[in-house]
Amino acid sequence: MRICVIGSGYVGLVAATCLAEIGHEVVCVDSDLEKIARLNEGQPLIHEEFLQELLSRHHKGRLAFSPAVEASIRDAHTIFIAVGTPCTPSGEADLSYVESVARTIAQLSEGYKLIIEKSTVPVYTNDWIERAMVMNGRDHNGFDVVSNPEFLREGSAVTDFLYPDRIVVGSRNERAARSMREIYKPIIDGTYELQASAVPRPEGSRQKPFYIETTPQSAELIKHASNSFLALKISFINAVANICEAVGADVEHVREGLGTDRRIGPDFLRAGIGYGGSCFPKDIAAFRAAAHACGYELCLLDQARKINEDQRFRFVKKIRKALWTLKDKNLAVLGLAFKGGTDDIRQSPAIEIIQSLIAEGCKIIAYDPAAMQRTRAVLGSAIRYATDSYDAMNGADALLILTDWKEFGMLDLQKVKACLRYPIVLDGRNVYKPSEMQKAGLNYYSVGRLPLEISHSSAKRASALTQS
Ligand code: NAD
């Protein structure tokens, strides 16, 4: 099929590339001309596993990038809308980008158009797009609007798109539903995986996804409810972690006990400094606002948001307690992205914690495998940038781990101790076991577990032993 994807951000770019990978002719357009120019130069713009490989495979073949939004819309039969839906100050989703695209499609449509809403939007947005089409003189027979929310996770976006748990399609008639089945056919029936050049299916993923056909309202609600539920799970384990700290329990053991109950499941039960990114904070606020607009107060979500915000303050308090005072302390930070595997720093807890520490007079030197460039654009020279993990901690008063990159869980702890001025590690993602830190002779502060403090006398003994 010939498809136009509007928006070349995390979702638009991944969707366009993967739609080309499963056999469609795709043009991906964006009003940001610089982005399109860079994509046309072969720069992938975002850090995602397999993306570069698929771009090289399809760019200038089945996949094109174009700044000509209007011409591409006019030519396309099938249009995916993947523009941003940020948060307004009152928490509602800002739908102005979606509305502007809908109006453009309405004004330029000549033949039939299948309009697919991929951005995360509140319930009834599908109706609004339909209304925009009708208000601009389009006949009901000349278009369909489908809600097809995206569930990919940054860091594993390509494999999530190609091997999803489920595909949700909200449509009003069989004509639109049939076209959607056609678009996703190689993924639904598993034939994509059989291709020799296919991106390998990740271990543990479903062989064939659930294909859920429903109404547009239900599809829109599924997306908001899913993200809100995942955010609730994270805040729940963080609340439990705070109780663990108060009573001397170990949240990692509690997590195992909870997560091995099949009704609960182990995912999204990692205690830490909280969720961030461009989705959870805004989607939870938008769902709260949409529920309010329908006359229902979803206060549960307020609490989840508050617990999440408090986690960052609690961690800064923990740093202060471990270091006595903060002013003029040199701190090594590992991790800037909102989670491991991505270069996205939007609403990253790491960035917020760094900003609080700078405000308290700390000097920060940071390292992240993918997010340095984006951080430079936000924090500039307010912090220093290291060339690798050990370079960051060389001579630092303490080490902070703020993002759960795999490589940060595989450090040579003897080397860490040798690099640091004081043997202090604060782990905001619980990537280490206290026993590993104890063996290395490091003071270790994590989330939901008692602090591990090497006593002065044993530290002196260890140092005397090392010298002898
Ligand atoms: P993004 O901000 O990275 O990208 C949006 C792009 O749309 C930008 O490049 C922007 O220039 C472009 N754009 C805006 N208005 C346009 C217009 N009129 N014409 C052409 N291009 C236009 O956003 P994103 O992270 O890709 O998210 C897009 C949507 O998908 C959001 O609703 C988001 O909630 C949802 N979503 C995101 C993720 C994720 O992990 N990032 C996952 C699932 C769903």
Domain ranges of the chain: 2-214, 224-307, 312-467
Name, in order, each residue with C-beta under 8 angstroms of 295's C-beta and a sequence gap of 6 or more.
none
**Token pair for residue 61?**
């073949």
Q: Compute the distance from residue 207 Cα to the ligand 1 centre, in Å.
A: 28
The yes-or-no verdict on residue 468 having pLDDT over 50 is no
Kindly report, residue by residue over 163-211, the tens digit of the pLDDT: 999 999 999 999 999 999 999 999 999 999 999 999 999 999 998 999 9
Cα–Cα distances (Å) from 46 to 209, 408, 449, in that order, read: 26, 21, 35
Domains 2-214 and 312-467 share a fold: yes
What is the CA(255)–ligand 1 centre distance, in A? 34
Whole-number Å distance, alpha carbon 10 to ligand 1 midpoint, is: 7
Kindly state the tokens that stand for 391.
Answer: 């370079």
Q: CA torsion sign, 262 to 278 to 447 to 436?
A: positive
CATH of domain 312-467: 3.40.50.720
Angle at 419 between CA 437 and CA 336, to 5 degrees: 80
Tell me how far the alpha carbon of residue 84 lies from the centroid of ligand 1, in angstroms.
3
Per annotation, catalytic residue among 4, 18, 279, 362: 279
Q: In this predicted structure, what is the pLDDT of residue 456?
A: 59
Structure token pair of residue 118: 């991929």
- Ligand 1 pocket check for 227: Cβ under 6 Å: no
Asked if residue 278 has its Cβ within 6 Å of ligand 1, the reply is yes
Q: For ligand 1, what atom is nearest to the CA of residue 120?
A: 32
C-alpha gyration radius of the chain:
24
- pLDDT of 460 above 70: no
Atom of ligand 1 nearest to the CA of 29: 20
The question of whether 279 is a catalytic residue gets the answer yes
- In angstroms, the CA 384 to CA 354 distance is 12
pLDDT, tens digit, 9 for 90 and up, residues 351-364:
999 999 999 999 99
Angle at 407 between CA 333 and CA 451, to 5 degrees: 55
Torsion of CA 56, 59, 61, 67, to 10 degrees: -170
Are the C-beta atoms of 350 and 333 separated by less than 8 Å?
A: yes
Which tens digit of pLDDT belongs to each residue from 112-163?
Answer: 999 999 999 999 999 999 999 999 889 999 999 999 999 999 999 999 999 9
End-to-end CA distance of the chain: 74
What's the CATH number for 2-214?
3.40.50.720
Tokens of 85: 């839906």
Whether ligand 1 lies within 6 angstroms of the CB of 8 is answered as: yes
Q: What is the pLDDT of residue 108?
A: 87
For ligand 1, whether the C-beta of 97 sits within 6 Å is: yes
Whether residue 449 contacts residue 245, with contact meaning beta carbons closer than 8 Å, is answered with yes
Q: Kindly give the distance from the C-alpha atom of residue 32 to the centroid of ligand 1, in angstroms, as a whole number.
A: 11
Architecture of domain 224-307: Orthogonal Bundle (1.10)
State whether the beta carbon of 150 lies less than 6 angstroms from ligand 1.
yes
Q: What is the pTM of this model?
A: 0.94
